[in-house]
Chains A and B, each alone.
Chain A
Amino acid sequence: MEEKVKLLGCWTSGYSYRVIWALKLKGVEYDYIEEDLRNKSDMLLQFNPVHKKIPVLVHGGKPIAESLVILEYIEETWPESPLLPKDSYERALARFWIKFGDDKGRTLSVLFFQAPEEKPDENAIKEVVEFLKILEEKALGDKKYFGGNNIGLVDIAYGWLCHWLRALEDMRGVKVLEPSTLPRLHAWVENFEQIPVIQENLPDYTKWLAHLKSRRN
């Protein structure tokens, strides 16, 4: 008998969606619990006492926290529709790119959390462009997805780029992902968003942007 799967998440969090996408791609049934992060539930505090954050996956009553740890757990527990390569070297590369994205992702947030009247931080913009260039040239290359012909954990880990880069333009007037300068990455965003599981499980952009703006104020 399959043990019950529960996901504590938040509709505004990119980390939450990573887990949703992985579960859906593998056809894993789960109960979703929306958390109000300004008023954390007892269940969340009990299941993630260390960080008190979402997402938390609960499988057969046992909690796993941290999105990347959860993704590796999902991959190992439900090996059908694999999201990581079989080859150990390729797996190490995938893990490297995932970590790279999470480490660099913080730079983007600098641009968002500046005051609206401040001119966008030039150095931060430069860093973002460089980051995207590296992704396009070294991580994506000529592949359709980071995972090759099909999406994998690296694509899932970078899914946040889709909404955030759009928001960067709408909120800060900073356009970094142009088809003329980053054609392959630009194509990746389009391809990624068209995958049915992804398309059906993305927060409404307008609603999400409004939330982002309110959070910043």
Chain B
Amino acid sequence: MADELVLLDTCVSMFGMRVRIALAEKGIKYEYKEQDLTNKSELLLKMNSINKKIPVLIHNGKPICESLIIVQYIDEVWNDRSPFLPSDPYQRAQARFWADFFDQKAVYAVGKKLVTTKGEEQEAAKKEFLEIYKTMERELGEKPYFGGEKFGYVDIALITFYSWFYVYETLEKFSMEAECPKIVAWAKRCMQKESVAKTLPDQKKVYKRVLELYGLK
């Protein structure tokens, strides 16, 4: 019986992009259903009645919610190709730790503060933002990917937020390449992968949309 996969998502969601990259990495076919979060569909409300959020992956009628939980699920079910998590339990724990660290730091919320506030609040947000990425940069070290030689779980968790770098740099006049050169090099390396290049939006398009979204000049 063929697998039936449906992804409830919004094209701009960095969390949804994680799932799309994961599915692409494994070469899995699925039906994409764009959601309107201002007018949530019955399907979304039924499939994620608890949080009512996207992304939701529906596999043969059964919903899986929360982007990183979905990515782990995809890795476990399609375990015959392109593993995201290492096989060694200690390395797996490290991968889970770093993805959790990144999510705990709520980069999206910090980034929003960075571009929508002024003065001390903005300075604090910028400091926090850079600290998060500098910590990740130290963890990356000299490795090509967070996963080591291969693109993996932590790479998937982080790369989708790269599409906003241009926004932060342009609005706040700093250079991520100057502040976190290894992160930028890592991101460009990830962008060489088809799954990432096809999923991440054009940075200038994101910039235009963010200006509208936050009513900025």
A interface residues (Cβ-Cβ under 8 A, vs B): 50-51, 59, 62, 64-66, 68-70, 72-73, 76-77, 88-89, 91-93, 95-96, 99-100, 134, 138
**B76 contacts across to A, CB distance below 8 A:** 88, 91
Closest Cβ of chain B to A96, distance in Å, is: 6
**Complex: A99 Cα to B64 Cα, angstroms:** 13
Q: Which residues of B contact A (CB under 8 A)?
A: 49-51, 59, 62, 64-66, 69-70, 72-73, 76-77, 89-90, 92-94, 96-97, 100-101, 135
6 closest residue pairs by CB, A with B: A73-B93, A76-B89, A92-B73, A88-B76, A64-B93, A69-B96
- Give chain A residues whose Cβ lies under 8 Å from the Cβ of B90: 59, 62, 64, 73
A65 to B93, CA, bound (A): 9
> Are A99 and B93 in contact, CB atoms less than 8 angstroms apart?
no
Q: Which of B51, B89, B100, B101 contacts A73 (CB 8 A)?
A: B89
A62 contact set on B, CB distance < 8 A = 90
Residues of A within 8 A of B94 (CB): 64
B73-A50 in contact (CB<8A): no
**Contact A89 to B59, CB < 8 A, known contacts A76-B89, A138-B50:** yes
B133 CB to nearest A CB, Å: 14
A134 to B77, CA, bound (A): 28
State A69–B96 Cα separation when bound (angstroms).
6
B89: A residues at CB distance < 8 A: 73, 76-77
The listed residue with most B CB atoms (<10 A of its CB), out of A50, A64, A72, A88, is: A88
Taken together as a complex, chains A and B put the C-alpha atoms of A68 and B65 apart, in Å, by 18
Which residues on A sit within 8 Å (CB–CB) of B64?
89, 92-93, 96
Q: What separation, in Å, do the CA atoms of A134 and B48 have in the docked complex?
A: 13
Does the CB pair A96–B66 fall under 8 Å? yes
- Chain B residues with Cβ under 8 A from A72's Cβ? 92-93, 96
Cα separation A88 to B70 with both chains bound (whole Å)? 11
Please name all residues of chain B whose beta carbon is closer than 8 Å to the beta carbon of A50 when the two chains form the complex: 101, 135
What is the CA–CA distance of A66 and B102 in the complex, to the nearest angstrom? 13
CA distance A59 to B92 in the complex (A): 14
Additional A-B contact list (9), CB under 8 Å, known A73-B92, A100-B51:
A50-B101, A64-B93, A68-B100, A69-B93, A76-B89, A77-B89, A91-B76, A92-B69, A138-B49
Which residues of the other chain, B, contact A65 by a CB distance below 8 angstroms? Answer: 97
The answer to whether B70 touches A92 (Cβ under 8 A) is yes
- Shortest C-beta distance, B49 to chain A (Å), equals 8
**Distance between Cα atoms of A59 and B89 in the complex (Å):** 11
A93–B62 alpha-carbon span in the complex (Å): 10
Question: Bound complex: CA of A88 vs CA of B64, how far in Å?
Answer: 10
CB neighbours (8 Å) of A73 from chain B are 89-90, 92-93
Chain A residues with CB below 8 A from B66, complex form: 95-96, 99
A99 to B50, CA, bound (A): 12
Contacts of A134 on B, CB cut-off 8 Å? 50
- Residues from chain A with Cβ under 8 Å of B49 in the complex: 138
Residues of B within 8 A of A89 (CB): 59, 62, 64, 73
Question: Contact: A69 with B100, CB < 8 Å?
Answer: yes
Q: Which residues on the A side are within 8 Å of B97 (C-beta)?
A: 64-66, 69
Report which of A59, A66, A100, A138 forms a contact with B100, defined as CB distance below 8 A. Answer: A66
Q: How far is the CB of A3 from chain B (nearest CB, A)?
A: 11
Minimum CB distance partner of A97 in chain B: B50
B93 touches A96 (CB 8 A): no
| Cα separation A66 to B95 with both chains bound (whole Å) | 12
A76/B92 in contact, CB under 8 A: yes
A residues in contact with B50, CB < 8 Å: 100, 134, 138
Alpha-carbon distance between A93 and B93 when the two chains are bound, in angstroms: 20
Point out the residues of chain B lying under 8 angstroms from A70, CB to CB. 93
Task: State the Cβ distance, B135 to closest chain A Cβ, in Å.
Answer: 7
- Once the chains are docked, how many angstroms separate the CA of A77 from the CA of B89? 7
CB distance from A145 to the nearest CB of B (A): 20
Question: In the complex, A60→B99 CA distance in Å?
Answer: 23
